[in-house]
Structure 1
Amino acid sequence: MIDGAAGIPPSLRERKRQRTRVQLVSAAVELSRRHGFAQATIEQIAAAVDVSPRTFSRYFPTKEAAILSVVQDMADTAQDYLVDVDPEMEPLDALVAAHQMMFDDVHRGRHGVTPSLLAGALLVIGESTVLRPLALGLTPVGLLHAVARRMGAGPDHSPPWLVMRLWLTILSCASREAGIAVAFGQCDASLTARVLSERVTAVRAQMTTLVPRVPD
């Protein structure tokens, strides 16, 4: 990975840190898939990566945070892409466009989150009564501020919050459908990001049909 701001490759220490972080997230997802999220423990996750629970806590405060970091990492990338989206595009559609570019990165192996890791995270979140509301309630602060800037409003004003709530509803529906497709063998895990992108587009279109625009 290259530092986008400085164009400087990360140090060996930073690369090791990034690798350990990915391994911990992957272990958290794998153990949760195998034993159930409630049964997977921080001790088991740490042992799977051959580190101590204390080391785990340096990366994530909880096992919930480890799995939800998949969502957060992708949101961070989408936020970067949002800057490049046409400023005249409506905020909700701009979020869709930015996330589609991010999903393409995941699908083509240009992202730290792999398609298989995304598939596993979707399944774990979808099956967990603890993680589902946390994922739905997750409003990435950076995205909220970026949307607010596009709308010329403050991040504490209602319009940006409403746009983010609508976006998270679209993403939640699309994620559920993609997760079901993987779980029932209708979608290979390697295609998860592509299917999720397609479902986001479909749900956005359905939303327009169900809630037609009010005439000016």
Structure 2
Amino acid sequence: MRERKRLRTRLQLVGAAVELSRRHGFANATVEQIAAAVDVSPRTFSRYFPTKEAAILSVIQDMAETALAHLDDVDPDVPPLDALVQSHLRMLDDVHAGRHAVTPSLLAGALLVIGESAALRPLAIGTTHQGLLESVARRMGVDPDARGPWLVMRVWLSALACASREVGMEVALGRCDATLTAKAMRQRVVEVRAELADLVPPAPALPGSTSTIDRGAR
């Protein structure tokens, strides 16, 4: 009972942060206003989130946690980038079907706030989920600090940011109902992944590139 109440309060704070940011602008929404909207004190807010930025971005983090759980179920033979795509598609199916604490409407609000905030956009794009990074590294058979997993994660986060931006704009323009946000995100992720395959063909050998012998000698 206590844990359910804690989770409910946390979600209410996130919802209030999104709603007040949409109404007044993220820069003008205060922790005091967010706490008051849920009828708790600012001190209670700080027990859940260190900042209002963290409250908004928790929508993305919570969804990433679910994607991580799905990633472990993706066939190990699936390449790492496509494994990330598959795990996130399953997560978005959960959101759309109401099997997730994050609702499609809350996702829509978060995308709008992040898209409109110069402070939040780089935070949303630049945050690498450590669990996803480590899972990708295990799939590749390398250390999480190796170049490969980091490169895969940066490509994936860029693709996800592109899909999020497009869906956010569709919602803002009234072309996508908020309740269909997760479904729209799913479609955009599929499209962006397909476009990546066309935009990034195999690289030709470059002058001065490191040879196989040179790499082995290091």
TM-score when normalising by structure 1: 0.93
Residue aligning to 2:129: 140
1:69-80 equivalence runs, <5 A:
69-80=58-69
User: Which one of 147, 150, 163 corresponds to residue 158 of structure 1?
Assistant: 147
What's the secondary structure of 1:153's corresponding residue?
A: coil
Residue aligning to 1:211: 200
1:185 aligns with 2:198: no
Residue aligning to 1:96: 85
What's the secondary structure of 1:84's corresponding residue?
A: coil
Q: Name the aligned partner's letter for residue 142 of structure 2.
A: A
1:105 aligns with 2:105: no
Larger radius of gyration: 2
1:59 aligns with 2:44: no
* Segments of 4+ moved more than 6 angstroms: none
Residue aligning to 1:198: 187
Greater Cα offset, 199-208 or 44-53: 199-208
Find the aligned partners of 2:140 and 2:66 in 1 and give their Cα distance: 20
Find the aligned partners of 1:109 and 1:213 in 2 and give their Cα distance: 40
Q: Name the aligned partner's letter for residue 155 of structure 1.
A: P
Residue aligning to 2:37: 48
Find the aligned partners of 2:181 and 2:142 in 1 and give their Cα distance: 35
What's the secondary structure of 1:187's corresponding residue?
A: coil
Q: Deviations over 1:132-175 (max 9, x none)?
A: 00000010000000000000011111100000000000000000
User: Number of residue pairs matched?
Assistant: 204
Find the aligned partners of 1:174 and 1:125 in 2 and give their Cα distance: 13
Gaps of 5+ in 1: 1-11
Find the aligned partners of 1:194 and 1:200 in 2 and give their Cα distance: 10
Please state how far the C-alpha of 1:213 moved relative to its aligned partner.
Answer: 3.2
TM-score when normalising by structure 2: 0.93
**Identity fraction in percent:** 72
Q: Name the aligned partner's letter for residue 185 of structure 1.
A: G
Please state how far the C-alpha of 1:212 moved relative to its aligned partner.
Answer: 1.4
Find the aligned partners of 1:213 and 1:66 in 2 and give their Cα distance: 40
Q: Deviations over 1:21-54 (max 9, x none)?
A: 0000000000000000000000000000000000
Find the aligned partners of 2:168 and 2:192 in 1 and give their Cα distance: 15
Q: Deviations over 1:57-95 (max 9, x none)?
A: 000000000000000000000000001101101100000
